[in-house]
């Protein structure tokens, strides 16, 4: 049996322990209790979450037989230092575990304990710059869902903890079990670690339904040319009105926004499939592979081949 210990402190994010459901359902799919989970804290007893909900914990101890330690994040990592007892434990004993992980701002706990020195790591995008400033010897990659560097695992914010837990299940029990767990948890997709934390549709965030409808139409039809006239028709506006309203609501021109959606779709296909780059370029509306490469260099500073290699 594989034992997982969650390290909690007052103000922890409830989403961190939501990832326990991934291991719970992995046991169901595997047909045996492969994972055993327990919550730990500096002194044991009840620990209060940021939501105000209390959770019972065991006192962290060197005698605890734990294979994977997972540090939960807090909403205010810059103002809420990790308990000294937890840091001392991780420095002294935690490294004996098979894996150590930080969910969301739990990465700050690992960094404070010195476990991320000269390693790649990620955290919630909002705190990535501050984390890099505080811990210059950590190689922060602020646009990743999760990162595995040897025995150290770190994830982006909130729901990315589910992806990290699912990746652990895949590592332990194989891709078929991981897919089945994702299906049972109604997770829309199993995101790879190299996938971006950001979503272009969320970033554009139009204020009106008519522009949102045009964007939804564009995303469903990226594989063919999309003109301003066509999108304006979906929004029931003249092309001139559409361009003006679109730019006012999203801060981007329609052409710029459509290229961003094509880039996001192409990147997802590169990360999640083995299709040739020529096929991906065609499916996502680029003229050819060269056109897609130019867009990748503008948008990501990397060619598509490098994105695939990193994944």
Give the total number of structural domains in the chain: 2
pLDDT at residue number 33:
95
Same domain, 213 and 158: no
| Secondary structure E strands in 30-128 | 35-41, 45-48, 54-59, 68-71, 99-102, 120-121
Does the pLDDT of residue 189 top 70, yes or no?
Answer: no
Higher pLDDT pick, 109 / 96: 109
CA-closest candidate to residue 144, choices 155, 158, 131, 132: 155
Per DSSP, 33 falls in state: -
Does the pLDDT of residue 308 top 90, yes or no?
Answer: no
Residue 35 falls inside a structural domain: yes
Let me know if 84 is exposed, middle or buried by CB neighbors in 10 A (0-12, 13-18, 19+): exposed
pLDDT at residue number 198:
53
Same domain, 60 and 172: yes
Does the pLDDT of residue 179 top 80, yes or no?
Answer: yes
Could you report the per-residue pLDDT of 97-139, keeping only the tens digit for each? 899 999 999 999 999 999 999 999 999 988 998 999 999 999 9
Percent of the chain's residues with pLDDT above 90: 67
Mean pLDDT over 37-59 rounds to: 96
* pLDDT grade for 71, boundaries at 50, 70 and 90: very high
* pLDDT grade for 200, boundaries at 50, 70 and 90: low
Mean pLDDT over 179-207 rounds to: 67
3-state secondary structure of 173: helix
pLDDT at residue number 125:
86
What are 9's two structure tokens? 């402190």
Same domain, 27 and 147: yes
pLDDT at residue number 191:
55
Residue 168 belongs to domain spanning: 2-184
Does the pLDDT of residue 193 top 60, yes or no?
Answer: no
Alpha-carbon span 9 to 45, nearest angstrom: 11
Same domain, 276 and 150: no
Higher pLDDT pick, 15 / 193: 15
Residue 117 falls inside a structural domain: yes
What are 16's two structure tokens? 């961190």
Alpha-carbon span 271 to 305, nearest angstrom: 11
* pLDDT grade for 199, boundaries at 50, 70 and 90: low
Average pLDDT of the residues of the chain: 90
Same domain, 241 and 305: yes
Q: Which residues contact 197 (CB under 8 A, 6 or more apart)?
A: 122, 125, 142, 143, 144, 145, 156, 157, 160
- CATH code: domain of residue 65: 3.40.50.880
Residue 282 falls inside a structural domain: yes
Mean pLDDT over 235-252 rounds to: 92
Mean pLDDT over 134-155 rounds to: 92
Alpha-carbon span 69 to 107, nearest angstrom: 12
């Amino acid at each position: 049996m594989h034992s997982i210990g969650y390290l909690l402190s007052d103000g922890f994010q409830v989403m961190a322990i939501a990832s326990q459901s991934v291991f719970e359902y992995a046991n169901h799919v595997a047909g045996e209790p492969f994972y055993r989970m327990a919550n730990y804290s500096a002194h044991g007893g009840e620990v209060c979450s940021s939501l105000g909900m209390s959770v019972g914990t065991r006192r962290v101890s060197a005698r605890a037989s734990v294979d994977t330690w997972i540090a939960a994040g807090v909403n205010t990592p810059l103002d809420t230092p990790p308990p000294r007892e937890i840091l001392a434990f991780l420095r002294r004993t935690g490294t004996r575990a098979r894996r150590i992980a930080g969910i969301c701002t739990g990465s700050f706990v690992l960094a404070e304990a010195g476990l991320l020195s000269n390693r790649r790591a990620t955290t919630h995008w909002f705190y990535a710059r501050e984390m890099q400033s505080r811990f210059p010897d950590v190689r922060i990659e602020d646009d990743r869902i999760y990162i595995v560097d040897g025995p150290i695992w770190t994830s982006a914010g909130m729901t990315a903890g589910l992806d990290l837990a699912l990746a652990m299940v895949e590592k332990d029990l194989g891709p078929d079990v991981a897919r089945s767990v994702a299906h049972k948890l109604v997770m829309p997709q199993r995101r790879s670690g190299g996938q971006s934390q950001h979503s272009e549709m969320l970033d554009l965030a139009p204020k009106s339904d008519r522009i949102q409808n045009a964007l939804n139409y564009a995303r469903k039809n990226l594989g063919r040319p999309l003109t301003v006239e066509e999108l304006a028709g979906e929004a029931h506006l003249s092309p001139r009105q559409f361009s003006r309203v679109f730019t006012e609501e999203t801060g981007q021109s329609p052409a710029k926004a459509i290229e961003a959606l094509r880039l996001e779709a192409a990147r997802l296909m590169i990360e999640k499939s083995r299709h040739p780059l020529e096929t991906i370029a065609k499916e996502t509306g680029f003229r050819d592979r060269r056109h897609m490469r130019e867009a990748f260099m503008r948008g990501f500073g990397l060619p598509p081949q490098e994105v695939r290699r990193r994944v």
